[in-house]
Amino acid sequence: MSRLIVISNRVNPPEDSAVGTTGGLAMALSAALREYTGVWFGWSGHTTETFTGQLSMQRIGGVTVALMDLEEQDRQEYYNGYANRTLWPLFHFRMDLAQYDRSFSEGYERVNMRFAETVLPLIEPDDLIWVQDYHLIPLARELRRRGVKNRIGFFLHIPWPARRLFTILPGHDHLVEAILDYDLIGFQTEDSRESFTDYIVHIAGGTLEPDGTVNLNGKQSKVGAFPIGIDAAEFAHAIESERARGVYDKMTESRAGRDMIVGVDRLDYSKGLEDRFLAYEELLTKNPELHEKIFLLQIATPSRDEVEAYQEIRAKLDMVSGRINGAFSTIEWVPIRYVNRSYRRDELAGIYRAARVGLVTPHRDGMNLVAKEYVAAQDSANPGVLVLSEFAGAAAQMKDALIVNPFSREEVADAVRRALSMPLAERRQRWESLMHGVQQHDVTAWRDSFVTALLATPEPQFETEAASRPAA
């Protein structure tokens, strides 16, 4: 079996598999790497005055990790700039929030070169290299320039935008040409895969072969959809843990006989939290008989606090939740419990199980593993109901959820009302189908399908540019 070299922006495997927050990438990659001999390489999250390329090797949670520090300028231009002010909003269809600055793109290119230079000594001839997400799209190009002939795969965890939307990005053609240095390009859904190949054919002038291979300017890459899953077996273990049971008992007591609706998200404008709150307000307004009988627990973990758009959404959610609570609360009931902190994975399992409704309504999401975790946490004898946005990648797999348009407050409110009154027999039928999918399409299936497809790609054949291009 080949070694697996996983490369991502951040490297944060949990020391304990029961510990995790709302982000699914760390849990998924940790589970994948525990089955392989290999290394997880990336940025430590720390900055240094001068970039040295020095590596720090550690063993965390059964995974070997290699970390490097970046300069503060790198963090601002590459991470806060191009990754999170340019690509993230554009890829989530928020072109109104996307910022285009030449220094951002320069920082993005520079850091990808630094990633390539620093990881290069770790790579052995037979290693498979698996690069993760939008931060590192040009990394294969930089590795090829330095003589790396290994098979290199890329997986995008977020959506790929429609072709005309993507052309808004200055230098979009150069970014796509760089991504074609990967042997395999993976997306969460067929929709994202089709958006990418649509760009290749109709904008870039390339071709698409029946087997999913794209050709452009002499480059060739295999393209496919590989929907990510959770570690279903590990999550089943977590839900039975003492901590999860304790949290479930506390939540059951705290509910005081009321039905709980739960949302768990990173604090991000793509998650549709303001519209979710307004849909809940619509539910309360149109159904006064539900007053004091339900409440919404929204856990929203802060992130990217240095980016203005995130500061704005946090302030807006504080205002909206406060207004709703002020309008509907009584001395014994608060309709929204809004919490800005993270929870352990086993604690979340207990919270999910105590909830009658799981509310997952992003405006746009690559997959959304919270939807799958909510299903996996349910009691088979009395399961809750998942209400899921049609614009989450998970909706393509989880058709027995109540699928909604998250931009329609009335539609979301109606779905929650239906979920609260759904008969037990229907709840069980829906849950059984959903749970089967969660177990079948778990993180192991994701890893194995991608690695198998990468191994099946033709051995890279190219003339290295390493001799003609000086290192940056």
> Would you name the residues annotated as active-site residues?
157, 365
Exposed, middle or buried by CB within 10 Å (0-12, 13-18, 19+), for 106?
A: middle
Show the tokens assigned to 127: 């290693």
Q: How far is CA 9 from CA 23, 68, 133, 137, 445, in A?
A: 14, 10, 8, 11, 23
How many Cβ atoms are within 10 Å of 343's Cβ, its own excluded?
Answer: 19
The rounded Cα 322 to chain-centroid distance in angstroms is: 28
Helix, strand and coil in the chain, % to nearest 5? 45, 20, 35
Distance CA 260, CA 293 (A): 9
The rounded Cα 256 to chain-centroid distance in angstroms is: 34
> Maximum CA pair distance of the chain?
74
Exposed, middle or buried by CB within 10 Å (0-12, 13-18, 19+), for 458?
A: exposed
Tokens 């959506």 belong to residue: 159
Distance CA 439, CA 227 (A): 13
Task: Give the residue from 167, 170, 150, 166 showing the smallest Cα distance to 82.
Answer: 170
Query: 267 near 340, Cβ under 8 Å?
Result: yes
Distance between start and end Cα atoms, the chain: 34
Distance CA 399, CA 388 (A): 9
